[in-house]
Amino acid sequence: MVVSTNNKRTKPKYRIIQDILTSEIRNGQFQPNDHFSTLDRICERFGTSKITAQRAFMEMVRNGMLYTKRGCGAYIAPPRRKNESRLFGCLFDTMIEDGALPLVIRGAENAAREHGYNVLLCSTQRDHKLARTHIARMLEQKIDGVLYDFLLDEEFDSIVHDVLDRFESAGVPVVLVQRRLLNDTRPVSYVIPDNYGGTVQAVEHLCRLGHRRIAGIYESTNSSAIERCEGCKGAVLKCGAVFHQDLIKTITVMEDCDTAIAQLLAMEQRPTAIMCEHDLIARHVMMLLRGHGLRIPDDMAIIGFDDLPFSKYLQPPLTTVRQPLEQIGREAVNILIRRITGNFNDHAQIRLGTKLVVRQSCGAPAAEAPATMAASAASARCA
């Protein structure tokens, strides 16, 4: 529907509605963070359809006049900061197409879009010079906030702290996703899964199935790997199963799995189950075991972590710990919004609950095993 304005040009009805509501907001008829009108009220006030009202509404979100909260409706956006770009950066060291990070980014992009922001993706490729180039360019673009996923080791430690120092000192909030800093007292926002609790559930499941020699394969020394490794050790000891340091293998690249599996299979008393740090390792381990002539789960039970989309299609389907990857991205964006519009020093630290998804790779009969088991830990928040 269009309305004549001067016999030469016409303006769509949604644009007229948008202009009127935007003018009312700018004239102070609403306060920042006030709950905004529902679509039904807009339809009633302007005598229009929901489609037209929705179009006006989405344009106001896109232009930064409104932001939305999932399941709660729309709110008046605070005035933009000077030079605000309506742009978040997502800085990451590496991304595997069928790994966890794309799902985290999808959740972040959806949440950012609801608040009227776009997301700029930048990969450091674990290169110091490239990382610093990305930092400089983001600061030049007056970026409003940064999500940071990193693979922390001694070599790359200085870059991680450089990212935090340069952005935070410039008034740009940073939220870590999937991993946190180790042995660091600085206040840092992060959103991570309950790595320890999720792994404990998985290993306890193996113990209930009768496994007493449970191996673990973990990648590098990032916080997720350490917490999941500790969860594996803790659950093994709790269940009274056999713990020996030789059953725990640490790898730095996926190809190291070949050596780890060869060492485990060469043991006089080899393990009967392997807890893998994530599904990508589990998939590779399953391939290697078949290459050694072993059957899964008859000769070796396998459990992963993440519940990536491919996991249920493996043969056999992979038992794994599901972490809420898209929710991690959403929560990280919500922290950025709060720090931008409210308290910059609100360094929220969130752990989200996980869920054990039982399939066939660990030997549990489908008819006897529950489809899922709720994680013991719900999301925990602390300032």
Low-confidence ranges of the chain (pLDDT < 70): 1-9, 62-64, 68-71, 78-84, 152-158, 184-185, 364-383
316, 353 contact by CB (below 8 A): no
Instruction: Give the tokens for residue 383.
Output: 């300032």
Instruction: Give the tokens for residue 84.
Output: 């605000």
258, 229 contact by CB (below 8 A): no
Distance CA 289, CA 323 (A): 26
Give tens-digit pLDDT for 101-153. Answer: 999 999 999 999 988 899 999 998 878 788 889 988 898 888 999 999 987 55
Beta bridge partners of 191: 177, 350
Distance CA 327, CA 352 (A): 8
Residues of the chain with CATH 1.10.10.10: 2-76
What pLDDT is stored for residue 140 in this prediction?
A: 87
Give tens-digit pLDDT for 157-166. Answer: 667 777 888 8
Percentage helix, strand, coil, to 5, in the chain?
Answer: 40, 20, 40
Give tens-digit pLDDT for 255-283. Answer: 899 999 999 999 999 999 999 999 999 99
What pLDDT is stored for residue 375 in this prediction?
A: 37
**Tell me, what amino acid is at 115?**
H
271, 237 contact by CB (below 8 A): no
Phi, psi of 126 (to 5 degrees): 55, 35
Output the CATH code of domain 87-192+326-352.
3.40.50.2300
pTM of the model: 0.74
The residues, ordered by sequence, that sit 6+ positions from 134 with a Cβ below 8 Å of its Cβ are: 89, 91, 122, 124
Distance CA 60, CA 372 (A): 41
89, 145 contact by CB (below 8 A): yes
**Tell me, what amino acid is at 113?**
R
Instruction: Give the tokens for residue 332.
Output: 């990280």
Sheet holding 145-149, edge to edge: 118-123, 87-92, 145-149, 174-177, 189-193, 349-352, 380-382
Residues of the chain with CATH 3.40.50.2300: 87-192+326-352, 195-324+354-376
Q: Which fold has domain 195-324+354-376?
A: Rossmann fold (3.40.50)
CATH 3.30.70.260 fits 2-76, yes or no: no
